Amino acid sequence: MRVDVISIFPEYFAPLEVSLIGKARERGILEVHLHQLRDWTHDVHRTVDDTPYGGGPGMVMKPGPWGEAVDGVLAADPASAPRVIVPTPSGTPFTQKLAMEYAAEPWLLFTPARYEGIDSRVMAEYGARLRVDEVSIGDYVLAGGEVAVLVMVEAIGRLLPGVLGNACSAVDDSFAPGSMENLLEGPVYTKPPEWRGHEVPEVLLSGHHGRIARWRRDEALRRTAKNRPELLTALDPARLDKHDRRL
């Protein structure tokens, strides 16, 4: 997968050189291209923002530099086109389902903004030619879209084939489609069997795979009911078994 990011703070993306995503890049599974938006300005101050039409607080990112920057990225492969992701608190929610959809794309372009956002005509211009999604990572406001891009690239990158050591890790994830859809993962334990008087639940030491799977599902249901009750009410009753219903 190829990922391009246009930002006035390309240095924000240094963490993408580390750990799982850094390894994926070293191994050629993920290719990341960072671009400085100001490289597409033409004035001495390298201006990217201006006052909003209609008045109001803050500044808006000018369409000119964004248009030239996006055109520049598109020119890297005229035979193809990226899926464009515009991070904004006004976007549709970023979910595990969307992460999986993006993980199946060959090319993504992220356009994290600062200030009050990008002049809306940029999204109109490219929305007419490309798939452009405005996406939010949650119901709070960040100072800019850069951290949201880090979040999304990590969620997407770990789903690329060959990135996770154990392919099953992504299958059992909270929110993963299948048996864990709309469920949070329960607690996990490792050695030693007793630590400061706290014991590992006996069933996990039993070696009885059927009982362990049942226990894990019960714990997932319990934790979901406690931390995210609205997810449980959204669970399809047809996906619950007889034992689930008794909980």
Residue 30: CB minimum distance to ligand 6GU, A: 20
Q: Catalytic: 78?
A: no
Q: Which of 26, 31, 77, 116 is catalytic?
A: 116
With a CB cutoff of 8 Å and minimum separation 6, the contacts of 135 are 85, 86, 87, 88, 91, 92, 93, 94, 98, 148, 152
Tokens of 48: 């990217």
Residues 121 to 160: which contact ligand 6GU by CB under 6 A? 136-138, 140-142, 144-145, 148
The residue among 137, 231, 143 whose CA lies nearest residue 183 is 231
Q: Which of 49, 133, 146, 173 is catalytic?
A: 173
Query: Is residue 111 within the footprint of ligand 6GU (CB under 6 A)?
Result: no
> Looking at beta carbons only, is 111 or 224 nearer to ligand 6GU?
111
Q: Which of 10, 52, 63, 89 is catalytic?
A: 89
Residue 130: CB minimum distance to ligand 6GU, A: 19
Q: Catalytic: 89?
A: yes
Q: Catalytic: 173?
A: yes
Binding mask 81-100 toward ligand 6GU (x if CB under 6 A, else -) reads ------xxx-----------
> Looking at beta carbons only, is 41 or 88 nearer to ligand 6GU?
88
Q: What number of chain residues touch ligand 6GU (CB under 6 A)?
A: 12
Q: Catalytic: 158?
A: yes
The residue among 3, 201, 18, 182 whose CA lies nearest residue 110 is 3
> Looking at beta carbons only, is 79 or 141 nearer to ligand 6GU?
141
Is 137 known as a binding-site position?
yes
Active-site residues: which are they?
89, 116, 158, 173
Q: Which residues of the chain form contacts with ligand 6GU (CB under 6 A)?
A: 87-89, 136-138, 140-142, 144-145, 148
Residues in binding site: 137-142
Annotated binding-site positions for S-adenosyl-L-methionine: 137-142
